[in-house]
A and B are shown apart, each in its own frame.
Chain A
Amino acid sequence: MTLEERRSWAFLAVAVVAYGVYLATVLARAASAPLVGVDYAPAMLWSVGAAIVVGIVLNAFLGMLTPRREQTRDVRDRDIAQLGDRVGQAFLVIGGVAALLLAITEAPYFYIANVVYLCFVLSAVLSSVTRVVVYRRGF
């Protein structure tokens, strides 16, 4: 397994776990208050911040575990990364359009922020899954 494939797995795990923790936190708070009234912002910022920090640490850790000669990022890695990015971008567009429509209809900030965050996560997940599948099955 190349370093880039390991990083794709790590990125996928971090995105899923960070969003899962955020979702659990918000839903737990919603048990005692209306969903729209939940103070979601701190949990969201912590979730995003922690995902970024853990992602950087994991990347560095995986780099240290991989022998130097296997750390090269070659043309295949770049092709796979580009394909993953293209696939993931679909959800960024969907998230942007959904946020735009919610803002036009003057929906609560809760929904606007959460639809954008959800689409960021789905984009990251789809991009990572694409990379992992392509590394395994080829293209």
Chain B
Amino acid sequence: MVKATSVTNNIRVLRAANGDITQASLAERIGVTRQTIIAIEQGRYSPSLEVAFQIAHVFGVPLDDVFHYGGSHS
């Protein structure tokens, strides 16, 4: 799959670590479509800052624990 953005994320891992939250459930909780969650997870779409914060809020972690830019992930 082509990665269209330099923003990577741990959403898949965080979903699994939080009781296997489904993509549909996560999408519903932040008010986007399941396809948008899939696109974000696969790196095909960089979410807006607001959506990024909403995702982090669902998992109860800071933004940095969910999203990483370029080589910033340590």
A→B interface (CB under 8 Å): 1-2, 5, 69-70, 72, 74-77, 137-139
B35 interface residue per 8 A CB criterion: yes
User: In the complex the two chains form, what is the Cα distance from A127 to B5 in whole Å?
Assistant: 21
User: Is chain B's binding surface mostly helix, strand, loop or mixed?
Assistant: loop
Chain B 34-47 against A: per-residue CB contact (8 Å), 1 yes, 0 no?
11100100111101
Interface size on B, residues (CB 8 A): 20
* Given known contacts A137-B44, A138-B39, A138-B44, A72 and B4 CB-to-CB distance under 8 angstroms: no
A77 contact set on B, CB distance < 8 A: 33, 36
User: In the complex the two chains form, what is the Cα distance from A72 to B28 in whole Å?
Assistant: 10
Q: Is the CB of A75 within 8 A of B43?
A: no
A137 contact set on B, CB distance < 8 A: 2, 4, 44
Q: Is the CB of A138 within 8 A of B32?
A: no
Nearest 6 A/B pairs, CB to CB:
A138-B44, A138-B4, A74-B32, A76-B36, A2-B35, A74-B33
Q: Is the CB of A138 within 8 A of B33?
A: no
Q: Is the CB of A139 within 8 A of B33?
A: no
- Among A1, A75, A139, contact of B35 (Cβ-Cβ < 8 Å): A1
Rounded to whole Å, the gap between the CB of A73 and the closest CB of chain B is 8
